[in-house]
Amino acid sequence: MSFNLRTQAAFPDLAPGMTLHGQWGGRTYRIIRLLGSGANGKVYLVWRGQERVALKIGEDPTSLALEYEHLREVTEKIRASGIVPQLFELEDVCIGERTYPVLLMEWIDGVDLTQFVSQRGEQWIVVCLWKMLRLIAVLHQQGYAFCDVKPANLLFDWQSASPRLVDFGGVTPIGQAVREYTELYDRAWWGRGTRKADEAYDAFACAMLGLQLAHPIAKGELDRLQKKSPAERSAFLDQQLRGPWRNEGLRRALYEPLQGGMKLESLYVALLPLLHRTNPDHASKAQLPMRRKQRRHRKFDATDWGLLISVIAFTLAMCTLWWIGTL
């Protein structure tokens, strides 16, 4: 379950094919499908002219405007990294008798982390975690924590396996109270630390992602834990970390970050030995025979003949000098 510091509200359901009209810029947005929903809005894939973009619809204009300014600030800080989705416009649209604020931004085409790993295989868990840590580390270097780490906020391109972070609404300056979080990945919910934005908060969430991918806690257990205290949840987590895992190396790498005080860099280092033992890039393997075949059938050209003649001439010269030296 996701939480934020704003009051949760009901948002309109927009059917595919429905057209919205921007009241200020005059643009039209045609709904393609729902991408996701959360405590502060719903996100739809829409046509904006000839391009597909993400449209986030909220209820409170002030809240969405603050989110827009927040994203602009984050974008300015880490502009060169390219990890923040491109922002377009902030608009108002009329639906029935009501006016709703909408935020238009770049659409990231990909599948979420859970879906990617389930289809590619468990050998991808370490690689995906490692790539995610590299992205979040960029935010830390600029003084921000991502905070709302969860599978839906990390999308992977199916062909290139390149990850992108989405939903930057929870990004918080390090040292401040967390803006948005999801209980399962929240350090405070598990009784392992405060709900303050810092590097260890993100490291805990990333490690919990790894746990859920490699040794998942059943939904029934999570429902039962809802009624428990943070101390009881912490004891349950200890049991999960002591039990046998199919990937013992990953269990050991995640143990310290799940205590709640380990920085992201340390988790990154702990995963490196596992990364070196993992080679899940089936696409590269599939291309390897083709490259070998191309090398076998490559024709001997003029450059190759010239190189061969040069080597033979050099060898003959060295042999001649050696023979003269023996006289």
Binding-site positions for ATP: 56
Question: Please, what is the angle between helix 199-214 and helix 264-276, to 10°?
Answer: 40
> Is 148 in the active site?
yes
Integer Cα distance of 165 and 154 in angstroms: 5
Instruction: Mark the binding-site residues, compressed into ranges.
Output: 56
From 92, 109, 112, 148, the catalytic residue: 148
Tokens (6 digits) for 3 = 């939480």
Q: Which residues are catalytic?
A: 148
